[in-house]
Structure 1
Amino acid sequence: MNMQITKILNNNVVVVIDDQQREKVVMGRGIGFQKRPSERINSSGIEKEYALSSHELNGRLSELLSHMPLEVMATCDRIISLAQERLGKLQDSIYISLTDHCQFAIKRFQQNVLLPNPLLWDIQRLYPKEFQLGEEALTIIDKRLGVQLPER
């Protein structure tokens, strides 16, 4: 499938229009390198694509991805896939909210800014499946990014 580039966010992330005229955000190593809007790309270089339900969400995701390392986004995508396996269908906005949350949690950790979670006890008891998933997400972040975020 060929896609036409509408916007280049960085070397690894571009916004495209597919053959069915749907706007998507696609990722892949170097997919936007030396490309220009209106050029066509082949889907073989695409590692991940996002077609969100609303134009507004696509715009917010595009903005977020333009400033995020590919490894962080790929890690968040793995966590979201795991969450979908365990919890079922999730809202499209999870791509924005979780990715943004992880990115800033990693930045705060790297700057030695630790924020306690005053709701930790409540979350553990009221949402045990989600809490367990969060613990697994911490392990995924550690293994993929080498960042050991605290439970807090």
Structure 2
Amino acid sequence: MEIKKIFNNNVALTEDLQHTEMVVMGKGIAFQKKKGDQIDANKIEKTFMAPSVHFANKLSELMNEIPYEIMVISKDIIDMAASDLHTEFNDSLYLSLADHIYFTIRRSKDGLPVTNALTWEVKKFYKEEYQAACKALNLIEKRTGDRLPSDEAASIALHLFNARQDGSKMEETMRMTNIVNEVTTIVKYHFGIEFDEDSMNYSRFITHLRYFAYRMLRRERNDDDNESLFKQVRIQYPEAYECTRKVQEYLSRQYQMEMTKDEMTYFMIHVHRVSNRETN
């Protein structure tokens, strides 16, 4: 691959024989190189296909501020999480996660508190991401000798989940987490139950809630409602309907969000499943 632009000793913009541009990252990969030189493929540790100029510049800027070892740790965490979660992440995660880990380590060494107010919710609602984040803490400790507080696993889990959502903003992910927590609380108190968080019905319910909250925050609506199905489910599951009505009133008052008839229908079905299991 031919070098088209050098950002620093560890990052360069290259072009292959098919004229495909990519940013490559590797320890000393561009050291004493110049435009037009060939890259040693054995030194490439990460490639970013068809990158934007903004992304390449941001990566270069970040690598001038953050030790290369932290970038490698972040890459390994992302690769490990991608394998565990059977997913792919947005390239932007390499920037945000490395930046986050580096400054968290610095804060911890300076004796500043590392906390996350959403740790409890993240452990409940994003179990797979949280487990991957716990493994990330072990990897960080193994590589750096720094053991970060357990709350940091929640922060990393949010970064992982956020990167699975087509680049949605972290603020949006945190709002979505709050909505899921608030809605489950309404359901729990309406039926006077405690959820079996290991049950399949609860897992399906939470998955439905997460994507429901995601669509609501994005104002994504499907107004082609099935009125007859809504009426049928409302009659069949009257308690689930009453609970759904409470949720609708809360969302309208707190977030100015309105559920469609289809959303209410599927919410009733999930609420009935999860509440019926716990009641029985």
TM-score, with length taken from structure 1: 0.84
Structure 1 residues 30-75: Cα deviation after superposition (integer angstroms, max 9, x where no partner) = 2222223343323233233232554433332232123222211111
- The answer as to 2:68 corresponding to 1:70 is yes
Return the structure number with greater relative CO, CA threshold 8 A, min gap 6: 1
Measure the CA separation in 2 of the matches of 1:141 and 1:115. Answer: 15
8 Å contact kept, 1:15–1:25: yes
What's the C-alpha RMSD, in Å, of the aligned pairs? Answer: 2.0
Secondary structure of the residue aligned to 2:39 is strand
Partners of 1:96 and 1:7 lie apart in 2 by: 18
1:52 and 1:92 map into 2 onto residues whose CA distance is 11
1:70-128 superposed Cα distances (whole Å, 9 cap, x missing partner): 21111111100011112212222211221211121122122222232111111111111
Q: Percent identical across equivalent pairs?
A: 37
Cα 1:64–1:23, aligned 2, differ >3 Å: closer, same or farther?
farther
Tell me the distance in 2 between the aligned counterparts of 1:31 and 1:43.
9
Counterpart pick for 2:14 among 13, 16, 30: 16
Structure 1 CA distance, aligned partners of 2:102 and 2:145? 14
CA gap 1:18/1:147 in 2 versus in 1, 3 angstroms: farther
Query: Which stretches of structure 1, 4 residues or longer, exceed 6 Å deviation after superposition?
Result: none
**Residue 93 of structure 1 aligns with which residue?**
92
Contact 2:4/2:14, CA 8 A, preserved across alignment? yes
Counterpart Cα distance in 2 of 1:14 and 1:114: 37
Secondary structure of the corresponding residue to residue 66 of structure 1: helix
The one-letter code of the counterpart of 1:21 is H
| Distance in 2, Cα, partners of 1:89 & 1:14 | 23
**How many residues matched?**
150
Cα distance between partner residues in 2 of 1:130 and 1:28: 27
Paired residues of 1:142 and 1:149 also in contact (CA < 8 A): yes
The 5 A counterparts of 1:2-151 are 2-9=1-8, 11-51=9-49, 53-87=51-85, 88-151=87-150
Change (3 A) 1:20 1:64: farther
Alpha-carbon offset, residue 5 of structure 1? 4.2
**Larger strand proportion, structure 1 or 2?**
1
Unaligned 5+ runs, structure 2 = 152-280
Mapped partners of 2:13, 2:108: distance in 1: 30
Higher helix share: 2
1: CA distance, partners of 2:50 / 2:142? 28
Please say if residues 68 and 103 of structure 1, whose CA atoms lie closer than 8 Å, have aligned partners that are also in contact. Answer: yes
